Amino acid sequence: MSDIIKLQEFSLDFVNSQNPAVLDRGIRETIIGVQISGLAVGYALVRIRNEKLFKRLGFENFTQYMDDLNDKSSVSRSTLYNWLKAGTIFTEYQADLESIGFSSEDGLTKLLFLERALAKGNKDEIMNKLKILNYQEFTDLAKTIKQPPPEGFPFWELTGNIFMQEGQRAVIINGDLGEYSQKILLGMNTAAFKAIERKGSLLAVQLDSMEEVRIMRRIVRRARRRMRERMRKKVR
């Protein structure tokens, strides 16, 4: 593995220090450690995918492996696929990254926008900007070009109280709201994102009790079944 990924251990003892300089240094080093770890995971995921090592782990395909990794860890699918994307870009542009002296300390997340930036300008110029610009400056440069998410990346997912669409925060449900309000809002937004993904539509109906909900579900199922049967007959 290239020296671009410098694996090392970071102590968390700094959290108990009374010295603000020690706290600040610990925060910064830990953030770098997270970036390094994410890039290392991404690099390893690329190997598992490209070398089909998932089969030796008992999985039929790479998507099944990623789903299992998501199920058995606290890491969201979008984060896993972002790490995979960073690892893929690192692998593809490793020689260029080495030529500009790029290291994991320069920022894992900037790598996610490299290909979008490269579509806009001269390769040498973009590579130099990757090294010298901060995250906000580099992403502002790249974001005017929309890039499709990698294969297997979820169109939407719910992470805690945050709805993500193609890796972008779309809706945040305030955790300070009452349990009932949160439940209603989570349900409504889940239905909305499912509709968006299927390019469908939503019909909102306010009901006053769970009994009304149960009755309405039966009515809707019957009505939808009849409606679809009529539509199929028209197509014939």
Question: How confident is the model over 114-168, as pLDDT tens digits?
Answer: 888 888 778 888 888 888 888 888 888 887 666 666 667 777 777 777 887 777 7
Which residues, 6 or more positions from 103, have their beta carbon under 8 angstroms from its beta carbon?
Answer: 3, 4, 6
Asked which of 3-12, 130-139, 170-179 is least confident by mean pLDDT, the reply is 3-12
Do 128 and 233 share a structural domain?
A: no
Which distant-in-sequence residues (6+ apart) come within 8 Å of 143 by Cβ?
113, 116
Reported as a pLDDT band with limits 50, 70 and 90, residue 14 is low
pTM here is 0.57
* Phi, psi values for residue 152, rounded to 5°: 90, -10
Whether 80 and 69 have beta carbons less than 8 Å apart is answered as yes
The predicted pLDDT at position 203 comes to 76
State which residues form the domain around 210. Answer: 205-236
Task: Quote the pLDDT of residue 7.
Answer: 46
Indicate the SS3 state at residue 47: helix
Q: Same domain, yes or no, for 49 and 128?
A: yes
- H-state helical runs in 61-134: 62-71, 77-92, 94-99, 108-111, 114-118, 123-132
pLDDT given for residue 145 in this prediction: 60
Q: What is the pLDDT of residue 136?
A: 86
**131 and 20, same structural domain?**
yes
Task: Give the count of domains, the chain.
Answer: 3
For residue range 98-107, list pLDDT tens digits in order: 888 887 677 7
- The count of other CB atoms within 10 Å of the CB of residue 121 is 11
Is 92 domain-assigned? yes
Q: Are residues 135 and 50 in the same domain?
A: yes
Q: Looking at the domain assignment, is residue 47 inside a domain?
A: yes
Residue 176 pLDDT grade (very low, low, confident, very high; cuts 50, 70, 90): confident
Q: Which residues contact 59 (CB under 8 A, 6 or more apart)?
A: 65, 68
SS3 content of the chain, % helix, strand, coil (to 5): 60, 5, 35
Residue 72 pLDDT > 80: yes
Which tokens go with 104?
């994991």
Per-residue pLDDT band at 202 (split at 50, 70, 90): confident
